[in-house]
Structure 1
Amino acid sequence: MTQIIPSLSEISDRYDALFVDLWGCVHDGVRALPDAVAALQAYRRGGGAVVLVTNSPRTRQGVEKQLVQFGVPDDAWDTIATSGDAARVAMYQGAVGEKVWHIGPPADVKFFEPPKVLENPHAIERVDLEAAEGIVCTGPFDVQADPSDMRPQFLYAKQKGLKLLCANPDIVVDRGETREWCAGALARLYTEMGGESLYFGKPHPPIYDLARRRLAALGRDVGNAGILAIGDGVHTDIAGAMGEDLDSLFISGGLAARETRTREQPEETALKVYLENERSNPTFTIGQLR
């Protein structure tokens, strides 16, 4: 059974690095969460390294700009690994062909800038579905629309044998008090319909490989035992940590606040029932990162 802790400082001296989720942990999609920021600043002052590991489809530079907008100071983190960066490299390596149909908002156009880490990237062209060799999904066209609205297009895509590259495996996020659908909801639907979806963010290995490379680039040689993964998604953050053999800290006051009856801290019985139902086993749990 997970151990409920009062603060990150209770356990932080056991770890040399943190892999920290952003949305629901460090910010709420609108503004920074002050207690979380203070906890990460204190951890870094003690010598620890903070890698922000996010399922955002944005590039690392795009997430940096977003953090400034939300008021997350740059002394609360060391480096960033995004699902978008991992997925973009795969796309430019030809994972879903060169002519792709893009599902996502216009703001995600920067996803289609070739990554500098590749010497000979494929020539990627955005086309209509009828001309596509594959699909790239950075998010829904409308974050409030039911994902099932995409069934007609997905049926056609499946019949053509198109693969879907998912740049953000999250199903939903909470922007302030409003819940929004993410690319993962569409990828899940496509898979359920018999299509093939490719994932690069949490809980899948590519983003953890990227996070470890970013950590190593800081000059930090940290093994699994020295890393604590922090997040509010049992199917992404915690499942990914379990798959990577990392200890984890579950933020129960994020996506599962209602199910775990979290105010300051989760209600122990509700937390136990929730984790059992989800077949999840985080090492530690806290209501909010602090």
Structure 2
Amino acid sequence: MTRLITALSEIAQGYDALFVDLWGCVHDGVRALPEACAALSAYRKGGGAVVLVTNSPRPRGDVERQLRHFGVPDDAWDTIATSGDSARAAMFTGAVGRRVWFIGQPQEVIFFDPIKVVENPVEITRVALDEAEGIVCTGPFDPMADPEVMRPQFLAAKTRGLKLLCANPDIVVDRGEVREWCAGALARLYTEMGGESLYFGKPHPPIYDLARRRLAALGRDVEEARILAIGDGAQTDIRGAMGEDVDSLFITGGLAAKETRTSQHPDETALRTYIKKEMIAPTYAIGYLR
């Protein structure tokens, strides 16, 4: 049974580390969420470690710069694990071949920057679809366009047996008040069409392995029972926590704000209905991280 809470401090003493989602929890894609940042800062002052675990396709350093741009204070977190870094490591081991067709926006080509954690990385070349051995997707060419616009290219790719490396399993994200499509929507379409998509972010294991390595690099040896995953994605954050057998705190005022009727707090009946529909079992729920 999910327990409804009003502040992180109510349960913080039960956990030594937090795996915290970013978008919809710590910032809204435009600016930092002050109460969330204050709650994480207080948690760290109490001795806890905060690992920001994000499905961003960006490298860790780029996410760090973005956080500062949004106004997230440095004292609200310890380290970062990104879907992008997990997926980049796979790409540089040749997961989808050496010659790849890139789907994403111009600023996301940093995905192809060298990565230090892979020994003897393969050389990756971006090519046209008809020359590609595989596909790398960091997000849609146009995040406002229906993913169906990619069907003709995906049909050609599927026919040739190309694998699609998905750097961000999220389906949608809210940038301020605007909802945008993410790479996960394209990967889902490709899979539905009979293609093979490879995932490296939440809810899939690789990003949690990376998060644990980041935690260990801080000198923290934390038992699974002392880790709390926090996020607003039912099928990413909460499903991922369930797969990793760690407790979770569901932020209802993010992607599911409408379905859970969240203003400051979720409507309990609506929340139960949503949890049942999504077939998830968060340990706790709260309107907004505070």
Q: Name the TM-score, length of structure 1 as normaliser.
A: 1.00
Q: Could you tell me which residue of structure 2 aligns to residue 34 of structure 1?
A: 34
1:117-155: per-residue Cα shift (whole Å, max 9, x none)? 122000000000000000000000000000000000000
- Structure 1 unaligned runs (5+)? none
1:263 aligned onto 2:248:
no
1:183-206: per-residue Cα shift (whole Å, max 9, x none)? 000000000000000000000000
1:64 aligned onto 2:53:
no
1:161 aligned onto 2:161:
yes
Q: Could you tell me which residue of structure 2 aligns to residue 11 of structure 1?
A: 11
1:139 and 1:118 map into 2 onto residues whose CA distance is 23
2:6 and 2:239 map into 1 onto residues whose CA distance is 23
Give the SS at the match of 1:243.
helix
1:93 and 1:223 map into 2 onto residues whose CA distance is 30
1:98 aligned onto 2:93:
no
One-letter amino acid matched to 1:253: G
How do 1:1-290 and structure 2 match up within 5 A?
1-290=1-290
Q: Name the TM-score, length of structure 2 as normaliser.
A: 1.00
Give the SS at the match of 1:86.
helix
Offset of residue 228 of structure 1: 0.1
1:286 and 1:218 map into 2 onto residues whose CA distance is 28
2:60 and 2:232 map into 1 onto residues whose CA distance is 21
Q: Percent identity?
A: 76
Taking only aligned residues, the RMSD between alpha carbons, in angstroms, comes to 0.4
One-letter amino acid matched to 2:272: K
Runs of 4+ in 1 over 4 A off after TM superposition: none
2:218 and 2:209 map into 1 onto residues whose CA distance is 15
2:92 and 2:265 map into 1 onto residues whose CA distance is 44
One-letter amino acid matched to 1:243: G
Deviates more, 1:107-116 or 1:91-100: 107-116
- Structure 2 unaligned runs (5+)? none
Give the SS at the match of 1:230.
strand
One-letter amino acid matched to 1:285: A
Give the SS at the match of 1:42.
helix
